[in-house]
Amino acid sequence: MTSQARTARAGAQLLVDLGPILVFVLSFNILQRMRPDDAIYWATGLFIVATLMAIAYSWLRTRFVPPVLIVTGVLVTAFGGLTIALHDEEFVKIKPTFVYLFYAAAIFISLLIRQNVWKLLLKHAFTFPDRIWNILAARWGAFFLFMAGVNEAIRLTQTTEFWVNSRLFVVYPLIFAFMLLNLPLTMKHIGAADEPAPAPPDGERNA
């Protein structure tokens, strides 16, 4: 794959990942000036539509939808649908907490049963020794627990407007910063694989 193709692919993936959140935040801030009483509900509806469109775009472009995007789509639709149906904004605000806890539980359970889900999701893009995959999985699991706490702290202490906008000026900067913190480890070991098991002695092989 050429560098231009890789850049285009990365840009398309960034649009899929960030597009629905941008739609949610921007639509809320616009609607807040016109319909302050129900801006969150209209923005949530647009968030659901944008997320489903991102899934459809991913499928049409690559004939593949990342499992993380599928989980996100299901949870956004479920919690967003409850928000609109019950006219209760707490459902969409608690959705990130549920998502982070789900990811953390999936990671730690997979480590316990020695089926590292972090490796299963990303091994097509990166090669690391199993020890590094386990370290990265544990770090991200702990980070997701931290992010669940951050979301709850904002949800319980701040206004809805602050919570919505924190998606861009709190959540994503924290995620980006955490990725940078892991960069030295990933750059040091990327491309390395586990050493193959030593071959048995000739006597054992011929037994």
Q: How many domains, the chain?
A: 2
Task: Note whether 46 and 94 are same-domain residues.
Answer: no
Contact 46, 95 (CB under 8 A): no
Longest C-alpha distance within the chain, in Å? 83
Could you tell me the pTM of the whole model? 0.83
The confidence score (pLDDT) of residue 105 equals: 96
Q: Would you say 18 and 38 are in contact if contact means Cβ atoms under 8 Å apart?
A: no
User: Is 110 a member of any domain?
Assistant: yes
Residue 204 domain flag: no
Q: Is residue 15 part of a domain?
A: yes
Reading the chain (207 residues) residue by residue, the pLDDT tens digits are 454 444 445 445 666 778 899 999 999 999 999 998 999 999 999 999 999 999 999 889 888 888 888 888 999 999 999 999 999 999 999 999 999 999 999 999 999 999 999 888 887 677 888 899 999 999 999 999 999 999 999 999 999 999 999 999 999 999 999 999 999 998 887 776 655 545 555 555 554
| Domain co-membership, 45 together with 62 | yes
Do 98 and 151 share a structural domain?
yes
User: Domain of 74?
Assistant: 1-86
Q: CA 187 to CA 11: how far, in whole Å?
A: 22
Helix (H), strand (E) counts: the chain:
9, 0
For residue 91, which amino acid is it?
A: F
